[in-house]
Amino acid sequence: MGALIDVVGHFGTTFSYATVGSMVARALREHGLLGSVWNVDAAWHPSFGDLRSITAEMMPATHVLVFAGPFHYMDAYPLQYGRARSAIFMSPNTDRLAPEHAETCGKYGLAVVPSAWCESAVRASVDPETQVAHLPLGTSVAFSGSRRDRVFQLGMRLSRRRKNPPCRVLHFSTDQSWPGRKGTEELLAAWALLSCSGRLRGAHLTVHVPPALNADAEYRCRDLEVDESVTVAITEEHGSDDDPLSLMLDGADLVVAPSRCEGFGMMLLASLVAGVPLLSTYNTGHADFLARSPGWMGIPTAQTGPLHGEDGLCPVVEPEVLAQGLAVAMRPGARRALLQSGLSFDAGDSWGTWPEATRLWVARLTEWVEETA
């Protein structure tokens, strides 16, 4: 038996780190590279039942790949496996790491990052002895599989011979604190500006948030007097599965993602893979795939500023600028143009999905174990 990689992660939710860790673990398993899967959460999410039973067998793993924040207690893995054989997934939000996070990351021989934004932040914060591998993430094939039907239905809504129906706008947030990094507060402020100026024209906004943000979002909507045109939808406590997310995309004419920062931007990519027009910022991790994708409009961000609870800087979203972009993107003509540009994009059904991304992960991790065997 050759070298094996143990995977460590937070598998008690379906949030981003758990999603990435599970997809990579399954791909490693398919190629005979997976050792054990260790969950650092108190319980396993049902979505990862197939990984829960994977434990060390006859031969212990030689390498470890950690999908968790670089907190001091993650120092244990380089000590156990050796620095050269220890890798950690790094997805920073701002342009540099906090000193304590940089210290822990620097104890690993390999940092795997999902975007050029993250690579720049990591390289600026750790010494050159830590290698950095830039590997993309993906999104579920469930979104790409229903793309053609979804685009057809959206097109039908715009081609009816009666007055165009009001725009259904959808926003996803995975923030666990307020203020956050997904631009939810700025979006509600921009929505209020459009409401006051009479430019909503019957449009409705659904804000999809975790339970931790529910009260803050509800109160803000009431304070801004937009609660009649905004629905705050609450996710499951431990994250949403693909099916409910796909249904939400089915009911949207436009996804708006005014994120101040993204390590990669899986839900933004999901919108494009699903064929739903997207209004988005474009300065951080999501720049990697937006640069070669159709079907989206940009929200300009002219300056950077601090992010609550984190070191470093990231782009600032101005509600006035966002309101202007929303007013344009919600127009039937703009949405029709975005749909048509998406239809003309022929990158294959696997574009942006996990099978395409994990193929690159397996190739790079294979090189890594061979180099450090």
Please tell me the predicted confidence (pLDDT) of residue 78: 97
- The C-alpha atoms of residue 252 and residue 276 are separated, in whole angstroms, by 7
CB contact set of 77 (below 8 Å; sequence gap of 6+): 8, 64, 66, 86, 88, 108
Task: Taking residues 15-35, report their average pLDDT.
Answer: 95
Average pLDDT over residues 266-292: 95
Residue with tokens 């540099």: 96
Q: Which domains does the chain have, with CATH numbers?
A: 5-138+354-371 (3.40.50.2000), 141-343 (3.40.50.2000)
pLDDT tier at 56, thresholds 50, 70, 90: low
145 pLDDT tier (thresholds 50, 70, 90): confident
Please name the residue ranges forming H helices in 53-107: 76-81, 99-105
- Answer whether residue 178 shows pLDDT above 80: yes
Q: Binning pLDDT at 50, 70 and 90, where does residue 161 land?
A: low
Model confidence at 102, pLDDT cuts 50, 70, 90, reads very high
Cα gap 306→310, rounded to integer Å: 8
The pLDDT value recorded for residue 65 is 98
* Choice between 347 and 111, residue whose per-residue pLDDT is larger: 111
What's the order of all strands across the beta sheet hosting 110-113? Answer: 34-39, 5-9, 63-67, 86-89, 110-113, 131-134
pLDDT bin (cut points 50, 70, 90) of residue 58 is very low
Angle at 308 between CA 304 and CA 313, to 5 degrees: 25
User: Which pair of tokens denotes residue 201?
Assistant: 């024209």
- Per mean pLDDT, which range of 18-27, 340-349, 352-361 is the poorest? 340-349
Binned at pLDDT 50, 70 and 90, residue 57 comes out as low
Range picked from 8-12, 150-154, 161-165, 340-344 for highest mean pLDDT: 8-12
Confidence at residue 292, expressed as pLDDT on a 0 to 100 scale: 87
For the chain, the average pLDDT equals 92
In this prediction, residue 347 carries a pLDDT of 64
* Beta bridge partner(s), residue 209: 234
- 27-31, 231-235, 278-282, 283-287 — which is least confidently predicted? 231-235
Q: How confident is the model at residue 312 (pLDDT cuts 50, 70, 90)?
A: very high
Span 114-132, mean pLDDT? 95
What would you measure as the largest C-alpha separation in the chain, in angstroms? 69
Average pLDDT for 245-274: 94
Number of helices (H), then strands (E), belonging to the chain: the values are 15, 14
Q: Of all residues in the chain, what percent carry a pLDDT higher than 90?
A: 76
